Structure 1
Amino acid sequence: MANDKDTLLSMGFDSARVEWALKATNNRGLQPAMDHILEHEGQPVPDLSSVSASGPTAAPMDVDEDEEDAEALRAQLGVAPVATTGGEEAKSIKCTECGKIFKNTALANFHAEKSGHDQFEESTEEIKPLTEEEKKQKLAELREKMAEKRAKKAEEEAKEAKANEALRRKSGKDMDKIKEDLKVKEALKEAEQRKRDKIEDAKARAAVKAQIEADKKARAEKAAREKALREGQPLPEAASSQATPSATSASSGIAGKDFKETRLQIRMASGGQPYTTTLSSDALLREVAEFLAGQLLSVDVETVSFAQHFPRKAFSHADFSRSLRDLGLTPSAVLIASTP
């Protein structure tokens, strides 16, 4: 046992693991101990006071068991007695499935657990101890097995790390793509909104321009009529005056077209910052008053009044029940609010 321990220690194994392996295999030799170390590599070393040949909680078993234990093991393994002549004694146990021979039933039991073989018989062959050359060969085999196992483990860890990195990169790319798609959608949405605003502003400017032209013609006709009255001349024909309503209705038709929303800028007659809001074109003028009252505590819905500077127009409280569309305030307008 001391030689086996020294041999394992010389290979660089931890002393605690060597003690565990020797005790767990019940000091059955170098090979079982090496197999135990390989099989339990990476596992924590248990409390050695509870470790035996059958595991951490099994009862200990001596190599030189008594006849009752030997008979029990033979019965468990199904060992057939050897037919000997001349009083020759059985010196080993042989596995009839693979041909390996073992020094005692404990080693045979270890082989049965490891290989699954269950056919054994007693043999007269004597197991010779390992020579120094054989021990060196065993050590070389063990080192090769350990190197292969470590290389395989390192390869598996590298594959796992590579797979994890691929998943991380894919997740990052997916997230970047989602963010980029959102940015594109937002940019398209903003561009579409700017386009609609531009169209609405152009229509509003056209409506204002038409109203200006109509007002200009109306003033010219009025001036011509006043001049004719002063000079005693006949009144001019009302062609231009007939054009005025058509121009006004045209501009009103443009301004009152089916705009779903109306943008309003509300200024106080007393001065101060303007207030802007967007309401449905079907909203009532009273809702504008309610909006302004929500912005300024000094404004009362029942007493506030609204007017337009251009085209000049004043709205009475009777207009509070009319929609912004009917009042010609679409798609945008500037209102002047006054309070008593």
Structure 2
Amino acid sequence: MAGDKDTLLSMGFDPARVEWALKATGNRGLQPAMDHILAHESEIVPDLGGVSEQSGSRSAAMDVDEDDEDAEALRGLVKGAGTGVDDVEAKSIKCSECGKIFKNTALANFHAEKSGHDQFEESTEEIKPLTEEEKQQKLLELREKMAAKRATKSVEEAKEHKANEALRRKAGKDMHKIKEELQQKELIKEAEAKRREKKEEAKARAAVKAQIEADKKARAEKTAREKAIRDGQLVEATPAAGTSQTPAAMAAAATAGKDFKETRLQIRLSTGGQPLTTTLPSEATLREVAEFVAGQSLSFNVDSVSFAQHFPRKTFTQADLSKSLRDLGLTPSAVLIASP
């Protein structure tokens, strides 16, 4: 894995040995790779193309060791023959900016990538191999670093989980609050509609009651007048053309003469269910009311629906469908009974 490789390289191990250890241990993690490097520190790195994962074959390492030793001896002979003197070889690479010494170019490149340093020079300083105590100390430091990293990650994950949980709870509370507000608004709207409906019904009942009282008064006056005529106390007069004959007619004429532009209707269905309410222009016909009822309930048909009124008691005929609400005396409000 890239993380394990970077960690081993940062500890100063040779890149070839790191590749060998990771491949030989099957990339099982940092600890197996570290153990493999420490166990085979004195061996020559074999050709990685012939190394199978988790094998770590020692016989192959021995063969490569022998071949490398012969090749190194041959290179030494050629070098001695060519120059005749012992040249001073660079044994390490040194960072001019921070003074750190690296065993090979790969480690120096890794340091440059991580630190941003770009000034390096060859050095004759030899990097001594780590003692057993130093190896154990590095291993301990690495384990502590990994443990601290895991602990930090665990804390960060706990914080993130806590923040996500807080957001989820807040979203749930906000949604619940919105639902409650909507329900409250609906309740207020329904209450206002009921209050308006009751107010209109009260007005309609008051108008009907006033009409009934006017009719009673007219009948009483008519009876008294007829009795006075029979007793000879009053001579019956022929009403002039264009004048009202009874107080009830006068009241009806006065009511009909008022300019009510709209008529509010409450329509109770004989089939049951909630009453229908609507507001129509006073010039609208009773047939438009029938069309409204047919549009609200499938049980009603425009051509067959009939209407009746309790106060005053009256049943409207098919001929009344073409009359306006004002002509039928239904303004400014009325309660109708609709039958299919």
Out of 254, 263, 267, the residue aligned to residue 266 of structure 2 is 263
In structure 2, what is the equivalent of residue 95 of structure 1?
95
SS in 2 for 1:280: strand
Alignment pair present for 1:311 and 2:312: yes
Show structure 1 runs of 5+ residues with no match. Answer: 30-47, 51-61, 68-84
After superposition, the CA RMSD in angstroms is 4.6
Equivalent pair of 1:265/1:275 in contact (CA under 8 Å): yes
In structure 2, what is the equivalent of residue 320 of structure 1?
321
Q: Deviations over 1:272-313 (max 9, x none)?
A: 769953343323112234456776889773x87655453244
Q: Identify if the C-alpha distance between structure 1 residues 99 and 197 changes in structure 2 by more than 3 Å, giving closer, same or farther.
A: same
Q: Deviations over 1:251-288 (max 9, x none)?
A: 6679x845553112365xxxx76995334332311223
Q: Identify if the C-alpha distance between structure 1 residues 147 and 260 changes in structure 2 by more than 3 Å, giving closer, same or farther.
A: farther
Counterpart code for 1:286: R
Percent of counterpart pairs with the same letter?
61
Distance (Å, rounded) in 2 between the aligned partners of 1:124 and 1:276? 105
Counterpart code for 2:311: F
Equivalent pair of 1:210/1:251 in contact (CA under 8 Å): no
Q: Identify if the C-alpha distance between structure 1 residues 243 and 28 changes in structure 2 by more than 3 Å, giving closer, same or farther.
A: farther
Distance (Å, rounded) in 2 between the aligned partners of 1:275 and 1:180? 26
Distance (Å, rounded) in 1 between the aligned partners of 2:102 and 2:306? 113
Distance (Å, rounded) in 1 between the aligned partners of 2:110 and 2:201? 94
Distance (Å, rounded) in 2 between the aligned partners of 1:253 and 1:110? 103
Q: CA deviation at 1:248?
A: 3.7
Q: Which moved more, 1:119-128 or 1:309-318?
A: 309-318
Equivalent pair of 2:305/2:338 in contact (CA under 8 Å): no
In structure 2, what is the equivalent of residue 173 of structure 1?
173
Out of 328, 332, 335, the residue aligned to residue 334 of structure 2 is 332
SS in 1 for 2:29: helix
- Number of residue equivalences: 276
1:33-72 map, 5 Å: none
Distance (Å, rounded) in 2 between the aligned partners of 1:274 and 1:176? 32
Q: Identify if the C-alpha distance between structure 1 residues 298 and 309 changes in structure 2 by more than 3 Å, giving closer, same or farther.
A: same
Alignment pair present for 1:288 and 2:289: yes
Alignment pair present for 1:244 and 2:225: no
In structure 1, what is the equivalent of residue 164 of structure 2?
164
Out of 17, 20, 28, the residue aligned to residue 29 of structure 2 is 17
Counterpart code for 1:321: S
1:74-153 map, 5 Å: 88-153=88-153
Distance (Å, rounded) in 2 between the aligned partners of 1:337 and 1:225? 41
Q: CA deviation at 1:204?
A: 0.6
Distance (Å, rounded) in 1 between the aligned partners of 2:167 and 2:299? 59
Counterpart code for 2:248: T
